Chains A and B, each alone.
Chain A
Amino acid sequence: MAQFEKEIVQAVLIADNNVWNFKPLSDEGSTALLPLVNVSMLDYALIALNRSGVEEVFVYASLYLQEIRDHIKEGIATYASWSFKMTVHMIGGEGCRCFGDAMRDLDAKALIRRNFILMGADTVTNADLRPVLEQHKRMAKFDRGTAATLVLKECAINVRTGNELLIAVDKQNSRLHYHQRLRMNHKEPRYQIPLDIFLGNSCTALHHNLLDPQIAIGSPSMLSLFSDNFDFQTRDDFVRGLLINEELLDSRIYVALLPATQYAHKVNNWPAYQLVSRDIINRWAYPLVPDMGVLKLQQQYVFHKDNIYKSLEAHVSKVALRENVVIHAGSHVEAGTVIRDTVIGENCRIGRHCQLSNVFLMANVTIQDNCRLEHCVVGDRAVIEAECDVSAGCVVGANCVLPRKTKLAKTLVTSTPNTQRKTEQEQDYETVELEAIGPQAYIVSDITTGDPDDSEGEELLPQQTLCIPKMGDLMLPLDEISNFSDLSDISDDDEGSRAVTPLPDDTNIFLSEVIDSLSRGFRERSNPDFLILEINSSRYAYNMSLKEVNFNVVKAVFGMQHIVEPANNNVLAAIGAAFKQLGPVVSNYIKSEEAMLDCLKALEDVYEENPFVREKISQIVHYLYDKDFVSEDAIHAWYCQLGGEEHFQLRQSLVKLVDWLNQSSEEDDNDET
């Protein structure tokens, strides 16, 4: 009776995909089990699949396999809503290091027989995926090479959480032709899209406002494509590989947009965590909202106005709950505390006269009196002692104890004194001592924590300092943004207009060649001697005088992409990194007093062009002085030359430095006498 056998809808959930971004909490447990408004992320994903009519789910995990298995067992035992009509299997293993490995493993096990839903365990959605699945099946009938359908959702343009995409789709059959992940840190001034895409299709739609919630419908061929192409590590690799080798692999990807009424978002880092929490509390993800009892089938919260969800077993008296607050059972909040936009987990204790805004407390957290917390996450059983000030995207790991009167901003705190990291040269692990701020609180520097799995870093420059995205104010005022971009538009416009582009003369070509050489040398860490050789040959090719070479080499160092657009606008770190690598090249040219003056002149030019340099000019000059690139006399000579109105600003910024130089030299003189 095979024809009466109903077709089972299968789904694959990939857990632990974004471990690095959730440091330090990801060191202590699976990110899939991280509670989001007091329900773990895995549960949201399972509920979403259940609502879409999925009957068989494979949860794939590697690192915290046992924990997740226990969680699922417990869910089935306690009749979690997703356990009805849906079987959940756990698979995974130690050997699995990336998304691609998981897919290959699934292919080897031959568990998937039909089109399946592929989702990350960190996706929150209330969408019904059945229509999309049907669309995929229709498309697969029509086009045998259909490998996958990506499910995307429209979003606001102003907020970037790293999930935003620019895609080009054929308007007639919504086939994907171009896929670019938008960068988080700064916005691209322009997009470069291959012309063939547009010429090959009569109408191509460019979507710029789309968000990738990491949902896809896969054909069985998707898994075998992963097996055939062992270099596919992430889903993005898969998409990119298919777009490039479309004819070779004979596979195509299609796109489906979710309707405006359905919610979907991926929680891949702390800003997204904050955003999705807010959306859940504001009921955009309905029915996945706290008071619906979606997971446990029992009412856990009472819903009050202004989106306040309060458990009946929470003790909250004489407390100002402003808006968007969730308080779980067993929590105590003392009098005089003000709370807004906050989620409080089980059995938390909050003292008197605290201020909590945009705070996410896990279970059993203690916050003592007179604390101010803003935009932060506090892990299980952590204690924040009285009069602490924690703000701007701090994450306090489980079991931490923050001593009295600690002030923290933008830091990650863990309770264990050392962490492991991979060194860049050797592949083995090295233990790093962490800076302590208390007996059970150590600062994790997220810049030193290299991201070993970061394969999306391709678009970033390799040397760009990576750091974990932090929470902050999500809603920048609209006007501010638009005004800012308008200003840049006008300047763009003027640059782009005709007759402004000067013909490249030899000096400019020379400069751009030096920039190319240096950037490449910097990226590939090549021997400075070779770079000097390269620059010298360019020099003779364009017949540059020594003076011009000195000037342009310095200008080129500052003209490198990662200094012009520094990561996190931290230009000093970028310059430090550049000089560390390229210092020998610069000092090869900047030897005499005169050359130093050329060097400073070049800096003067850069000062005009780069706003980041403008802000930090005195520190930069100081840095160059410290590293012996320029001498004190050269700085004095240069400073004296800066006259007139146009250099007023520059003089102003240098006054302090020059004074300090004078003083120190006087001291030296005194010492000698």
Chain B
Amino acid sequence: MTNSEFQAVVLAAGRGTRLPEVLGDAPKCLLPVGPFPLLWYPLNMLQQHNFSEVIVVVLEQEKLEIQLALENTPLKLKVDYATIPSDSDFGTADSLRYIYDKIKSDFLVVSCDIVSNVSLYPLINKFREHDAALALLLFKSGFESDVVMPGPKTKHKPERDVIGVHSATQRLAFLTAASDCEDTLNIQRHLLKNKGQLDVYSRLLDAHIYVLKKWVINYLHRKENISTFKGEFLPHLIKKQHAKRAAKAIQDTTSEVGLVTKLEDNVLHYVPHTALDQKITQTSLFNQSLSHVPYHGDVVRCYAVQAPKDAIGVRVNSTLSFLAINRKLASIWNEMCGEAHPLIAAGALVKSTQTKDIIAADNAKLSEKTSLNYSVFGPNCVINPKNIVSNSLVMSNAIVEEGCNIDNCIVGHRAHVKKGSVLKNCIIGPNYVVDEGTKSQAMHLSNADQYMEIDIQ
């Protein structure tokens, strides 16, 4: 344990319900993003912040596959796989509760679908500075705004959060999904009471990177009816910021976490509140205002830190963002990972001379006399001569025959595009064979019925 202050948990047991078209039968966390599987990005981020050990929560049946995939990547982290039963219907909070006894210190929870180059130190420092219960990171959204969603035209409505942050202190006042509200947003008076001004953001993206106190998992462990972390537990915890210690509890100065005799539901029973803490508060010179106790006596404190404007952050949780990150990855690769990792894998066979911002994985065969732009080519895929591929994603083992023009498309695993096809804004499902000379636009071509695709086991 070289980094004993924080443990890190990566939640990688998601089933990818929002990107059924591209998933095939692979786990969500192994979706190819450039040269690496999706899961590599959060792990790499943690590694760059000097974490040496990470707990990765995976589904039991997918563990081997994930393990194998990660061994092929240049990661030095020690990964501790925590498996959850495949047949269970665990939410994120359930997963955390399941690995409860592995958490020994304050910890980070990171979702497996975050691709980012942001530095976590400002976030962690905010957490340390205010002895916070929770600190979370917010990104500017709109990474995928200029990408057209391939496939049939649907009304794509991105999920949006309404986030209230006290501008002067960055205290988090509320966080709700816009879809949870009706026409009006109800704001309790006490949210505004001690805060003259509250900034409400609607276009920020919750990065799903959370820094949490150890006692929070104890509390979560107790709250068995909460199943999702973001949707239920987070708003709950944020609301509990305003809970006040009952008068008699103040005298009870010796109670400590773990030693609480009666496990009441009250969140304050979980907050460590030793005599020493009180002494520190009393003698501390630090204060925000002259007439109030620090933090207005709030014991639970949640903070939101905004990532710097130039930081890259995207959550790969929908087909659109998946395509967007793949298309743009080559242009931002240097900012993301530096020169450390080559974009054209050593085993890739690139004979094409007209390429711009492409990524090719192992054994990808990109023939001569092709024009390839802003695209990603998965392992073992074959691009025959006389092809134009731009803004597209060709996944593993796919074959593109001669004379095709593919623009803004996703070509699925083992799909086969035959001669002379012209495809624009299309999604080609796994194993699908596109007939010779097909001309399609904004189509979803796949073998299975639409219904079968959303098979989430």
A interface residues (Cβ-Cβ under 8 A, vs B)? 154, 157, 166, 168, 171, 187-196, 198-210, 478, 482, 485-486, 488-490, 492-493, 496-499
Of B190, B232, B243, the most chain A CB neighbours within 10 A belong to: B190
A490 touching B244 in the complex, CB below 8 Å, given contacts A195-B178, A205-B167, A497-B239: yes
16 A-B Cβ contacts within 8 A? A157-B193, A191-B186, A192-B186, A193-B184, A195-B181, A198-B162, A199-B160, A199-B162, A203-B202, A206-B164, A206-B197, A206-B198, A208-B196, A208-B198, A482-B296, A498-B226
Cα separation A195 to B188 with both chains bound (whole Å): 15
> Contacts of A486 on B, CB cut-off 8 Å?
242, 244
Question: Is B232 a contact of A498 with CB atoms below 8 Å?
Answer: yes
B439: which A residues are within 8 A, CB to CB? Answer: none
Shortest Cβ distance from residue B382 to the other chain A in the assembled complex, whole angstroms: 45
Q: Say yes or no: is B195 at the interface (Cβ < 8 Å to chain A).
A: yes
Q: Does B89 contact A (CB under 8 A)?
A: no
B197:A201 contact, CB within 8 angstroms:
no
From A157, A204, A492, give the contact of B196 (CB < 8 A). A157
The 4 closest A-B pairs by CB, nearest first: A209-B196, A208-B192, A202-B203, A192-B184
In angstroms, Cα B160 to Cα A195, docked, is 12
Interface centre among B178, B183, B185, B199, by most chain A C-beta atoms within 10 angstroms, is B185
A190: chain B residues within 8 A (beta carbon): 186-189
User: In the complex, which residues of chain B have a beta carbon less than 8 angstroms from the beta carbon of A202?
Assistant: 201-204
Complex Cα gap A201–B160 (Å): 12
Cross-chain contact of A205 among B160, B187, B200, B243 (Cβ < 8 A): B200
Binding site for A on B (CB under 8 A): 160, 162, 164, 167, 178, 181-190, 192-193, 195-204, 225-226, 232, 236, 239-240, 242-244, 291, 296
Q: Output the nearest chain B residue to A489 by Cβ-Cβ distance.
A: B190
From DSSP, what is the main secondary structure of chain B's interface residues? mixed
Taking CB atoms, residues of chain A closer than 8 Å to B242 are 486, 489-490, 493
Q: A195-B181, A498-B225 in contact; A493/B162 too (CB < 8 A)?
A: no
Complex: chain B residue closest to A169, CB-CB:
B197
Q: Using Cβ atoms and an 8 Å threshold, which residues of chain A touch B232?
A: 498
Q: Pick the contact of A203: B184, B189, B193, B200 (CB < 8 A).
A: B200
Find out whether the CB atom of B198 lies under 8 angstroms from the CB atom of A195.
Answer: no
Q: In angstroms, how far is the closest chain A Cβ from the Cβ of B388?
A: 38
A493, B184: Cβ atoms closer than 8 Å? no
Q: Shortest CB–CB separation between residue A395 and chain B, in angstroms?
A: 32
- Nearest CB on B from A184, distance (A): 15
Question: In the bound complex, what is the Cα–Cα distance between A482 and B200 (angstroms)?
Answer: 24
Q: How many Å lie between the Cα of A478 and that of B297 in the bound state?
A: 14
Residue in B178, B192, B243 whose beta carbon sits within 8 Å of that of A206 in the complex: B192
* CB closest residue in chain A, given B199: A205
Q: Kindly state the separation between the CA atoms of A181 and B178 in the bound complex, as whole angstroms.
A: 26
Q: Name the contact of B188 in the complex, choosing from A198, A199, A207, A492 (C-beta under 8 A).
A: A492
Quick check: B188 and A204 within 8 Å, CB to CB? no
Contact A489 B187 (CB under 8 A): no
Q: With contacts A199-B160, A489-B242 known, is A192 near B200, CB below 8 A?
A: no
Residues of B within 8 A of A207 (CB): 196-197
**Within the complex, which residue of A166, A206, A208 is in contact with B200, where a contact is CB–CB below 8 Å?**
A206
**B197 CB contact (under 8 Å) in A194, A209, A478, A482:** A209
Are the CB atoms of A201 and B167 closer together than 8 Å? no
Task: Decide: A485 and B187 in contact? CB cutoff 8 A.
Answer: no
The answer to whether B197 touches A195 (Cβ under 8 A) is no
Check A493 against B240 for contact (C-beta < 8 Å).
Answer: yes
Nearest CB in chain B: distance from A176 CB, A:
15
Taking CB atoms, residues of chain A closer than 8 Å to B202 are 198-204
On whether the beta carbons of B199 and A499 are closer than 8 Å, the reply is: no
**B192: min CB distance to chain A, Å:** 4
Nearest-neighbor residue (CB-CB) of A196 within chain B: B183
- A194 / chain B contacts, CB cutoff of 8 Å: 183-185
What residues on A are CB-neighbors of B187 within 8 Å? 190-193, 206
A-chain residues with CB within 8 Å of residue B197 when the two chains form the complex: 205-209
The reply to whether A204 and B199 contact each other, CB–CB distance below 8 Å, is yes
Complex Cα distance, B189 from A206, in Å, reads: 12
Q: Given the complex of chains A and B, what is the CA–CA distance between A171 and B199 in angstroms? A: 8
* Chain B: CB-nearest residue to A487: B244
| B165 (CB) vs chain A CBs: closest residue | A203
Q: How far is the CA of A166 from the CA of B191 in the complex (A)?
A: 13
A-side contacts of B181, CB under 8 Å: 195
Docked Cα-Cα span, A194 to B167, in Å, equals 21
